[in-house]
Amino acid sequence: MTVREIIHKLAEKYPPEMALGWDNPGLQVGNMDAPVQKIYVALEATEAVIRECIAWGADLLVTHHPLLMAGIKKVNSEDFLGRKVLLLAEHKIAHYAMHTNYDVTEMSALAIRALDLRETQILEETGVTERGEAYGIGFVGMLPDSMTAGACCEYVKKAFDLESVRLFGDPGCTVQKIAVCPGSGKGMAAPALAAGAQMLVTGDIGHHDGLDAVDQGLLMMDAGHYGIEHIFIGQMGDYLQAEFGELEVRRAGIRHPFAVL
């Protein structure tokens, strides 16, 4: 099995052309024709993850977030991105990423099931398939029952195995229709309001983002960028194991990037 054959299968299920224009999914580092026996799955290619790949002897690192999002002019050991590229190349580890193309094809569906939402619709449409079906980022739907915002925080924490979330707004407010945007959704308040959502659950909410949303009648729950998106690791590990049973697949442990002390 080669990197090319694995990527071909992944691209069929998660087409790179469905990614947003600013995104950079695809093969980040590596030889398309290199053989693969071991695949390591993680949310992102941190240096710690790359060193785990090296220690395990991985041939291919599959992540959600691309290693290279902006232009890079030099690859050397004095730059943190350059060091990671060199580590991957020196140990012959290919790195492939599926980002917003995964978001629109899989991430939302996973989150909807985790929250048991009903009557769901796309939060922000970003394209249409050849069959005329719309796809996009995030979703809005109905919780199984109405509940207070505080209770909804506990519900989300349980669904995604989180120790904490941040809530902008009154914990005593009643909610049932919520919008969810896994990852960074601080710019999704407007479509959430337009869809009639009472709360937006997302990550990377800044001070003014939260206050401004509340002033417009929208509660904001910050579950963390990693908090929801870590579901990629389990799903992708299971998918790769099912599709390529002859290969070894290892999943990164769930490690939130910061601690609340």
The pLDDT of residue 81:
94
Whole-number pLDDT of residue 95:
98
Residue type for position 103: D
Tens-level pLDDT at each residue, the chain (261 residues): 999 999 999 999 999 999 999 999 999 999 999 999 999 999 999 999 999 999 999 999 999 999 999 888 889 999 999 999 999 999 999 999 999 999 999 999 999 999 999 999 999 999 999 899 999 999 999 999 999 999 999 999 999 999 999 999 999 999 999 999 999 998 999 999 999 999 999 999 999 999 999 999 999 999 999 999 999 999 999 999 999 999 999 999 999 998 888
Sorted by where each starts, the structural domains of the chain and their CATH numbers stand as: 3-98 (3.40.1390.30), 102-227 (3.40.1390.30)
What's the sign of the alpha-carbon dihedral 129, 181, 183, 21? positive
Quick one: pLDDT at residue 152?
Answer: 98
Q: How far is CA 166 from CA 151, 170, 177, 256, in A?
A: 13, 12, 19, 15
Total-model pTM: 0.95
Q: How crowded is the C-beta side of 179, counted as CA atoms within 13 Å?
A: 29
**Among 104, 68, 61, 64, CA closest to 225:** 64
